[in-house]
Amino acid sequence: MKKMYPVTHLVCTLVCTAMLACAPAVFASGGGSDASAVPVKSAEATLKAAVSGNDQFTAHNDSHHFDAFQAGQTPTLTVVTCSDSRVHTHLFGMEPDNNIFVIRNIGNQIKNSEGSVDYGVRHLPSKILLIMGHSSCGAIKAAMGDYSGETTGIKGELDTLKPVIAAGDKTGDMNSRWNKNVERNVDYQVKAALDLYKEKIQASELTVVGAVYDFNDLYGKGRGKLVITNINGETTPSKIMTHPVLKELNRSEIVNHVGSLAPAL
């Protein structure tokens, strides 16, 4: 049977619908638009979509699709990203099976999933550790306000964002500060990764890349762009553009995928 590549809408249907859930009130304004205008599936319809999506996936990918990773996994990309349902691996345009090791939590934080990140970096052949934030991140907006009424679990995960928010310059309107803090958080998480995996980076075995998935076009590069904002701690766009890890990208690709909204921490 025909193998679909890269990730298709059939696979996305499975992933997106399976993770559909109602966000806590503190995160409700993280959508960037009127979330109430988006129809919400019932539990029955959600499970039906997940099962049907899986059937479509297996119908288009025969048993041999799974041959290469029966005995283990060999992903070269480890991604730490947000749990937000609008952020998924199909945005990379590469097949995720055995290629992308994904760790997710609110606010794409290293500390809150350190063991999982350790596994991706130290036990798998990851060459890139990608810390990926995203525009309209509800976790960042929540951390900028009063979240004292949230559950113990949510408060615990938001508390670890306090240093990021404290580092903000407090200039500009709420949206401007929010957007900059999304990027500052990426930088903060990159710094944490540089400390944790210093020896692998020095040995050129790992590169830590910070990026923002910008579905709001805040960086002026188009909706849905992956905008690289940090490589191994370097945050100046002109210097990022000359980093050796980008040598296989052409000039247009580099210009369209490197940018910055926030000054370095």
pLDDT digits (tens, 9 = 90+) for 73-117: 999 999 999 999 999 888 998 889 999 999 999 999 999 999 999
Whether the CB-CB separation of 19 and 85 falls below 8 Å is answered with yes
**List of long-range contacts for 139-142, beta carbons under 8 Å, 24+ apart:** 139/27, 139/30, 139/82, 139/84, 139/106, 139/107, 140/107, 140/164, 140/165, 140/178, 140/181, 140/182, 140/185, 141/27, 141/29, 141/30, 141/178, 142/26, 142/27, 142/30
Q: How confident is the model at residue 158 (pLDDT cuts 50, 70, 90)?
A: very high
DSSP summary character for residue 262: S
Q: Which domain holds residue 249?
A: 70-257
- By C-alpha distance, which of 186, 180, 187, 184 is closest to 261? 180
Please, what sign has the CA dihedral across residues 73, 77, 79, 85? negative
Q: Is 245 exposed, middle or buried (0-12, 13-18, 19+ CB in 10 A)?
A: middle
**In-domain check, residue 13:** no
- By C-alpha distance, which of 255, 246, 250, 191 is closest to 225? 255
**In-domain check, residue 33:** no
Residues 6+ apart with CB under 8 A from 90: 6, 7, 11, 12, 15, 96
**In-domain check, residue 5:** no
Average pLDDT, the chain: 88
Cross-strand bridge partners of residue 129: 78, 208
Cross-strand bridge partners of residue 210: 131, 230
Q: What is the pLDDT of residues 30-84, one digit of tens each?
A: 644 455 577 898 999 999 999 999 999 999 999 999 999 999 999 999 999 999 9
**In-domain check, residue 145:** yes
Q: What is the pLDDT of residues 145-154, one digit of tens each?
A: 999 999 999 9
| HSE (side-chain half, CA atoms, 13 Å) at 87 | 30
**In-domain check, residue 46:** no
> How many domains is the chain partitioned into structurally?
1
Whichever domain contains 243, its CATH number is: 3.40.1050.10
**In-domain check, residue 181:** yes
**In-domain check, residue 8:** no
**In-domain check, residue 54:** no
